[in-house]
Amino acid sequence: MTSADEQRDALLRFDQLEDGGLHEIEARLEGNDAESLIVLREGDAVRAWLNVCPHAGRRLDWAPGRFLKDKQGRLVCAVHGATFELQGGECIAGPCRGAALRTIPVVVEDGLVRVVRT
Ligand code: FES
C-alpha cells in the first residue's frame, strides 16, 4: 500500500489542543465503531494512542477526557495506576510495566489533526 492509498480522517483542529494537554476524542479506526483516543500536543507535535490500557483493557481516563498525570507529567491509568511515558506510550511503572499503549498515527495538515489509516 502506498501513501496515495492512505485515508486521512480529520479529528479536530490543531488550535483546539492545549499545548502539553491530554485530550480524548472519538474516531472510527476500523469498521464503523467509534473508538476513544488519547491525543497529546507538545508544541508543533501531536501524538495519539488508543484509550485502552494494556493491563486490563479499560479506559485510562477517570471521566471522559479527564486524565491523571504524575508529578513528572506522565500519564497514569485511573483504574490501577499504571504509569506511561508520553513519547512511545510505554508503561514504566505499575501492573503492566513494559507493555505499551497502541499508537495511532496522526498528522497535522491544514490546521487539522488527522488519523492516518493505511
Ligand atoms: S486497567 Fe490500567 S492499570 Fe489496570
Domain ranges in the chain are 7-117
Query: pLDDT confidence of 2, banded at 50, 70, 90?
Result: very low
Class of domain 7-117: mainly beta
Q: What is the pLDDT of residues 56-84, one digit of tens each?
A: 999 999 999 999 999 999 999 999 999 99
95-113 pLDDT per residue, tens: 999 999 999 999 999 999 9
Rounded CA gap, 36 and 63, in Å?
12
C-alpha cell at 44: 508543533
8 Å CB contact between 13 and 36: no
C-beta of residue 66 within 8 angstroms of C-beta of residue 74: no
Helix (H) or strand (E) holding 45: strand 45-50
Closest to 28 (Cα-Cα) out of 52, 10, 48: 10
**Does the beta carbon of 101 sit less than 6 angstroms from any atom of ligand 1?**
no
Please tell me the residue having the least CA distance from ligand 1 atom 3: 80
